């Protein structure tokens, strides 16, 4: 019968109690058992007087209470208490001694003894045993509840880890799909660029040569349509130039390694040349090298922001800036076009969605907001793995 099964007896009921008596005096041990039996317990006991005997008794079975004499020739109550700790047992441990000073008794209690009783006051033995049995039962219940809680927490932790792993898999799959989408878009842009250059460009060049030939013949014949023919030739040349610029714009970025400042500077120059608007670029701080993919995505984000400013915002001035802060790289595109408004469905626009996708693939964040009464500011912030402090002043600003 375990300790938590020892409760208040019914009328005439005797409670089973397994007692390990650590005592070198047999008469004293008999006296303790007699007191317990007269207190209503049906006692099963074993008397030991040394470490080896106590170890054998502990190995033999479970005990409901341990009564220990404080001072024995080869074994003490503190030695017995150390042995209980080695076994990891939580059994009521009561010191019963004929002589023990208060300081030693307090030290024993602090070391783990549950109570101490003087042999001349054995009337306290039965109440002390009953109290410690109840408290041991409570401790056992608390351990069981704690163990159950640990099991539940462990199971919940496993469930959360599994759910987190699923979420990570979903995020990874989404990122893979976003990257694949961007690759498809880049391949399509490259195909369109090649078509413009190799097919449409060549045909327009052939048409230009034919018109030039017609103009030459009409000029020899002094035909009145010479002037109109020259206008047609000039218009075709403009179309050829514009087609060439579009083909260059649609072609994949050829920057290798991560010279981001250079490719953004080239973008600003192309914008000024193609659209005949003011487009400035400035870089602040030492721009570290980036992987080709990161450079590509930042370039395309900037390109899309500039394109939106021109096509939708009707901007006449665009500013591109690149800043390397201590922990972040900040790319900003500002324009003076129409006031920017972002309705709830704005993120459903393909251009904005692709810009966000591009930012996500390189671990960056994208923010688009109005720039006062006119225009918009597009900010792409990418954390840097190794911080780089910016220089004091801007470079390549124009």
* pLDDT band at residue 273 using 50, 70 and 90 as cut-offs: confident
Secondary structure class of 256 (helix, strand, coil) = coil
Q: For residues 4 and 136, is the Cβ–Cβ distance under 8 A?
A: yes
Distance of CA 284 to the CA centre of its chain: 31
Enter the tokens of residue 76: 């003490």
Asked if the model's pLDDT at residue 256 lies above 50, the reply is: no
Smallest Cα–Cα separation from 210: which of 199, 220, 222, 202?
A: 202
Residue 106, pLDDT score: 82
Q: For residues 367 and 350, is the Cβ–Cβ distance under 8 A?
A: no
Provide CB contacts within 8 A for 116, sequence distance 6+: 70, 94, 95, 96, 97, 100, 105, 108, 109
Q: pLDDT tens-digit profile of 294-343?
A: 888 899 899 889 988 988 889 999 999 999 998 899 999 999 988 877 65
Secondary structure class of 354 (helix, strand, coil) = helix
Secondary structure class of 261 (helix, strand, coil) = helix
What is the share, in percent, of the chain residues with pLDDT greater than 90?
38
Q: Tell me how far apart the alpha carbons of residues 30 and 46 are, in angstroms, rounded to a whole number.
A: 10
Q: Mention the CATH class of domain 10-113.
A: alpha beta
Q: Tell me how far apart the alpha carbons of residues 82 and 97 are, in angstroms, rounded to a whole number.
A: 18
> What pTM, to 2 d.p., does this model score?
0.48
CA angle 26, 27, 30 (to 5 degrees): 85
Provide CB contacts within 8 A for 77, sequence distance 6+: 22, 68, 69, 70, 71, 95, 97, 108, 113
Residue 47 φ/ψ, nearest 5 degrees: -105, 130
Residue 249, pLDDT score: 65
Mean pLDDT along residues 129-145: 92
Smallest Cα–Cα separation from 129: which of 28, 26, 43?
A: 43
Residue 12, pLDDT score: 55
Asked if the model's pLDDT at residue 207 lies above 80, the reply is: yes
Mean pLDDT of the chain: 83
Q: Tell me how far apart the alpha carbons of residues 208 and 198 are, in angstroms, rounded to a whole number.
A: 15
Residue 20, pLDDT score: 94
Residue 36 exposure: Cα atoms within 13 Å on the Cβ side: 25
Residue 335, pLDDT score: 94
Q: Tell me how far apart the alpha carbons of residues 302 and 249 are, in angstroms, rounded to a whole number.
A: 13
Q: Tell me how far apart the alpha carbons of residues 312 and 84 are, in angstroms, rounded to a whole number.
A: 83
Architecture (CATH level 2) of domain 255-395: 2-Layer Sandwich (3.30)
Q: Tell me how far apart the alpha carbons of residues 298 and 255 are, in angstroms, rounded to a whole number.
A: 12
Q: Where are the domains of the chain?
A: 10-113, 255-395
């Amino acid at each position: 019968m375990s300790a938590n099964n020892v409760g208040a007896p019914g009328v005439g009921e005797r409670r089973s109690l397994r007692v390990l008596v650590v005592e070198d005096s047999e008469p004293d041990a008999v006296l303790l058992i007699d007191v317990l039996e007269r207190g209503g317990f049906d006692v099963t006991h074993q008397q030991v007087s040394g470490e080896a005997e106590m170890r054998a008794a502990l190995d033999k079975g479970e005990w409901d209470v341990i009564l220990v004499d404080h001072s024995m020739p080869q074994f003490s109550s503190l030695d017995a208490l150390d042995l209980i700790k080695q076994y990891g047992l939580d059994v009521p441990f009561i010191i019963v001694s004929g002589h023990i000073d208060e300081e030693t008794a307090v030290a024993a209690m602090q070391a783990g003894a549950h109570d101490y009783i003087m042999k001349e006051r054995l009337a306290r033995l039965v109440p002390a045993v009953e109290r410690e049995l109840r408290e041991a039962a409570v401790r056992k219940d608390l351990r069981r509840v704690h163990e159950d809680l640990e099991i539940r927490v462990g199971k919940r932790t496993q469930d959360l880890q599994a759910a987190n792993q699923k979420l990570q898999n979903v995020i990874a799959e989404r990122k893979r799909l976003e990257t694949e989408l961007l690759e498809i878009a880049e391949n399509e842009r490259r195909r369109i660029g090649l078509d413009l250059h190799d097919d449409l460009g060549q045909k327009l060049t052939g048409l230009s040569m034919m018109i030039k030939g017609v103009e030459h013949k009409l000029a020899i014949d002094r035909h009145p349509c010479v002037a109109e023919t020259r206008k047609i030739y000039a218009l075709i040349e403009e179309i050829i130039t514009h087609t060439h610029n579009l083909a260059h714009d649609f072609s994949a970025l050829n920057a290798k390694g991560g010279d981001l400042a250079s490719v953004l500077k080239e973008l600003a120059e192309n914008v000024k040349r193609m659209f005949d608007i003011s487009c400035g670029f400035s870089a602040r701080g030492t721009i570290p090298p980036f992987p080709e993919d990161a450079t590509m995505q930042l370039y395309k984000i900037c390109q899309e922001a500039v394109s939106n400013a021109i096509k939708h915002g009707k901007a006449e001035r665009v500013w591109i800036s690149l800043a390397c802060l201590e922990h972040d790289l900040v790319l900003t595109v500002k324009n003076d076009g129409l006031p920017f408004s972002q309705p709830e469905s704005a993120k459903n626009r393909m251009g904005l969605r692709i810009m966000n996708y591009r930012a996500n693939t390189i671990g960056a964040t994208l923010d688009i907001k109005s720039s006062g009464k006119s225009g918009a500011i597009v900010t792409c912030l990418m954390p840097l793995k190794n911080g780089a402090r910016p220089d004091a002043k801007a470079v390549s600003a124009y």
